[in-house]
Amino acid sequence: MDFLRPELQERLMKEHFEFRKLMEEHKSADSRLGDLQKKPSLSARETLEEVELKKIKLRAKERIYHIVQEASKRAEQ
């Protein structure tokens, strides 16, 4: 995630439960998507799973972005 500075990510991973959970969720969905994308073709069930995984990743990324924005604002004050 290009908007996430390494030092901020490290701090939030230690201090922010929701952030840590979202990062793990995003990473897990990304890993499973990678597995599916390696397959030459997908079953109907796998295609639905692929769509759902993309939604999970997007929701997690959006919430992570908001948490980072909030943390950045607090750091500026």
Tens digit of each residue's pLDDT (9 = 90 or more) over 6-47: 999 999 999 999 999 999 999 999 999 999 999 999 999 999
Residue type, 51: V
The number of distinct structural domains making up the chain is 1
Q: Residue 18: its pLDDT value, please?
A: 98
Q: Are 20 and 63 in contact (CB under 8 A)?
A: no
Mean pLDDT computed over 59-72:
95
Residue 13 lies in a domain: yes
Q: Are 13 and 20 in contact (CB under 8 A)?
A: yes
Residue 1 lies in a domain: no
pLDDT level of residue 69 (50, 70, 90 thresholds): very high
Residue 18 lies in a domain: yes
Q: Residue 17: its pLDDT value, please?
A: 97
State how far the alpha carbon of 38 is from the alpha carbons of 27, 55, 70, in Å: 17, 19, 37
Q: What angle do CA 67, 56, 38 make, to 5 degrees?
A: 125
Domain housing 66: 6-76
pLDDT level of residue 56 (50, 70, 90 thresholds): very high
Residue 65 lies in a domain: yes
Rounded to whole angstroms, the Cα distance separating 54 from 32 reads 10
